[in-house]
Chains A and B, each alone.
Chain A
Amino acid sequence: MTGLYTLLQINQLNNTAENYFPIGVQIIFAIGFVATMIGLSALVGPKRKTSDKLENFSSGIASHGNARQPMAVKYFLIAILFVLFDVEVIFFYPYAVNFKFLGWAGFWEIVLFVVLFLIGFIYIIKKGALQWED
């Protein structure tokens, strides 16, 4: 048996919140590690703040205005397409695990699913959503 199972005697089938206790411990340690490193660095490092030093870096030129300007819409388009496609990819997970029981009937269903996936894909290509040069 692996690591903590033997000690905690967690029922493997029982997927309750307490099963994820080791992950909680890891989060605490990660926060502690980062806080210690940054804290230690702040403690031993110099603290000489000048207004020039605290300016945003722009290769030595005086920075102009706010950096948070509107970005190219393409990045957001990619993000939205990702959401659509990733949801479809997530649907493959339960399918992949139970695939053997489903046999050929399952295979034709997955073909149908991939075809639907591809129709959407062809549609976004035809619409020019992935066209980067105008």
Chain B
Amino acid sequence: MLNTISFEAIKTAVQQWLNMHWGPHLAFIAECILIGLLVIVFFAVLGLLLVFMERKVSAVMQIRLGPNRVGPKGWLQTSADTLKLMLKEGLTPDGADKFLFNLAPFLIMIAAMLIMVPIAFARNFQIWDINIGVLYISSIASISVIAILMAGWSSNNKYALLGAMRSGAQIISYELSAGVAVITMVMLTQSLSIQDIILSQQNGWWIFKGHIPAIIAFIIFMIAATAETNRAPFDLAEAESELTAGFHTEYSGMKFALFFLAEYINVFIVCAVAAILFFGGWMPFHIGNWEGFNHIMDYIPSSIWFLGKTFCLIFLIMWFRWTFPRLRIDQLLNLEWKYLLPISLANLLLMTIIVVLKWYL
């Protein structure tokens, strides 16, 4: 790699500097604090960026301008919105269970922040490579269901409770086929570690190498991901026309903003996981023996590859939202239980045959 300025180089430089000037223990603590602060800054920037992106994408799809007053081309709109939300009163309704009501935003943000840990943002740039990476992501992701149910139940509001129940049923249902789709890809790598999964795609991304089962798994994973993040066409939990705002109807000010932020962080995470499993994470795009072409691709930094793939998938999910009409709850659950689950299981068997026959190289 000829990238002189890469995240890996910066990381190594910072590590060396800290170890040189401070003792190993102090350097370790400093690094933990640095990583924590970086994740928070990344969260904030990502939230602002994705909300802005969503508004611009929806504007383009509906042939209008979108936010264009605050800052150049409206870039500062979401920052202004955040500031406004910060200055609002955070109410806790009288009927609500005060403790659980205030605990829910904490839980949803903790879940969102913990999933960030094993995701590789660039070559050798990962907070922590856990050997059970993928399993860890799917297990932490299910904590957000508890936060949503907690928010809906504690609000003591009929809309909120109905929204939370719908959301709970929806998320846990789609977790099944998302899990099976992930396992289908794990079959190819034989490892749950994110690092290993990415490195196994050195000579081609799994979506190309994995034949038809990989493509089916990708489609199933994207549908399940859209449902798990409660986004249209599966946004029954907060169907505005019938349930006001669903499980966060009673939340206001900053607490509402945190739910909103967590939703967008989750969208980023599912797209990042899809990019890692199917499109090789930070691996550059290579074509067989085209040395010159592969070399040019290697010049593009790995972080650009990862973020490029992730944002393409985020655009896809936003595109879903502004093109498809919302489903009904029974249609939604039928789609999962009667179609996606059997298809994904059959797909898993197909993939095992391919792996046993070693057709995937």
Question: Chain A residues in contact with chain B, CB under 8 A?
Answer: 2-8, 12, 15, 22-23, 25-31, 33-35, 37-38, 40-42, 44-49, 51, 53-59, 63, 66-69, 71, 74-75, 78-79, 81-82, 85-86, 89-90, 92-93, 96-100, 103-104, 107, 110-111, 114, 117-118, 121, 125, 130, 132-133
Q: Whole-angstrom distance between the alpha carbons of A74 and B128 in the complex?
A: 40
**C-alpha spacing A16/B103, complex, angstroms:** 29
Q: Indicate which residue in A31, A68, A79, A90 contacts B156 across the interface (CB closer than 8 Å).
A: A68
Point out the residues of chain A lying under 8 angstroms from B348, CB to CB: 92, 114
Contact check, A26 vs B36: say whether CB atoms are below 8 A apart: yes
Q: Is the interface of B mostly helix, strand, loop or mixed?
A: helix
Contact A56 B93 (CB under 8 A): yes
Asked whether A23 lies within 8 Å of B117 as measured between CB atoms, the reply is yes
Interface size class of B (residues with CB under 8 A): 35 or more
Residues of B within 8 A of A97 (CB): 186, 190-192
Neighbour of A41 across the interface among B88, B102, B135, B338, CB < 8 A: B88
B270 at the interface (CB under 8 A from A): no
Chain A min CB distance to B39 (Å): 7
Q: Across the two chains, which residue of chain B brings its CB closest to A71? A: B165
Residues of A within 8 A of B333 (CB): 78, 130, 132
Expressed in whole angstroms, the Cα–Cα distance for A37 and B254 within the complex equals: 7
**Is B173 a contact of A82 with CB atoms below 8 Å?**
yes
Of the candidates B169, B254, B338, B341, the one whose C-beta lies within 8 Å of that of A79 is: B169
Q: Which A residues are in CB contact (< 8 Å) with B191?
A: 97
A59 partner residues in chain B, CB cutoff 8 A: 244
Asked if B126 contacts A3 (CB within 8 A), the reply is: yes
Provide the B128-145 mask, 1 if CB < 8 A to any CB of A, else 0. 110100010000000000
Task: List 15 A-B residue pairs with CB atoms under 8 Å apart, sorted by A's residue number.
Answer: A2-B124, A4-B28, A38-B258, A40-B254, A48-B89, A56-B155, A67-B158, A78-B172, A78-B333, A82-B175, A90-B179, A92-B348, A110-B352, A114-B349, A133-B330
Q: Which of B106-114, B218-226, B287-295, B297-305 sits within the interface?
A: B106-114
